[in-house]
Each structure stands twice: as C-alpha cells, then as structure tokens.
C-alpha cells in the first residue's frame, strides 16, 4: 500500500495548481524530496479516508491555498525578510487585474 501511495503522491505533485503540489513544494525545501513525497502520500490517505467516511466529494483547495490561508502572516514574513536584507518596505495594495 505504501508503494501505491508514494506513486500516487509523486503523480499528484506534478499537477500544476493543486493543493498537493503546493504542499510538496512547500515541504521539499525543508525536508527533501523523498520525505515531502511521503508527506503528500499521507495527505492523500487522509483525504481518501474523509471522502469515504463522510461520503462527501473532494474539494480541491487550489495551488495558492497556503498563500491565501493566512494572508497577513505571509505579508508580515515577507516584509520582515526584506527588512533583514536592508530594504525599507511600504505596502500599498494594487487593484486586481481585470
């Protein structure tokens, strides 16, 4: 079963703009490719369990889930990072693209 999960996770990580791909790319920097793939396989197993147990359809969260999940925390982290590099940062919201 582990082999099947790893293969499915590997395939899921190569889909563009998916939650599982975003999770993989977020984890691969800290843990490496193999451990990130195992983590995505675990997430797949949890998703399958909840789909079967709750009898609900899977709702894709999207590739930008981690950016949109806590927008203020992302802004704060990135501003702090730029300030540590010696930049002065002023945030001004832009109008959304049409």
Each residue's pLDDT tens digit, 61-72: 877 777 677 788
The string of pLDDT tens digits covering residues 71-80 is 888 788 889 9
Distance CA 21, CA 40 (A): 8
Distance CA 64, CA 10 (A): 19
* pLDDT at 73 (0 to 100): 83
Distance CA 63, CA 15 (A): 10
* pLDDT at 39 (0 to 100): 92
Q: What is the mean pLDDT of the chain?
A: 85
Please identify every stretch of the chain with a pLDDT value under 50, giving residue numbers as ranges. none
* pLDDT at 97 (0 to 100): 56
Residue boundaries of the structural domains of the chain:
2-84
Q: What is the DSSP string of 56-85?
A: -------TTHHHHHTHHHHHHHHHHHHHHT
Kindly state the tokens that stand for 21.
């791909």
């Amino acid at each position: 079963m582990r082999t099947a999960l790893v293969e499915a996770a590997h395939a899921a990580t190569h889909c563009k703009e998916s939650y599982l791909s975003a999770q993989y790319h977020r984890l691969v920097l800290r843990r490496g490719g193999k451990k990130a793939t195992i983590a995505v396989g675990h997430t797949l197993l949890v998703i399958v369990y909840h789909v079967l147990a709750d009898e609900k359809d899977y709702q894709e969260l999207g590739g930008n889930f981690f950016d949109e999940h806590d927008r203020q925390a992302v802004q704060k982290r990135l501003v702090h990072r730029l300030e540590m590099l010696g930049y002065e940062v002023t945030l001004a919201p832009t109008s959304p693209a049409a």
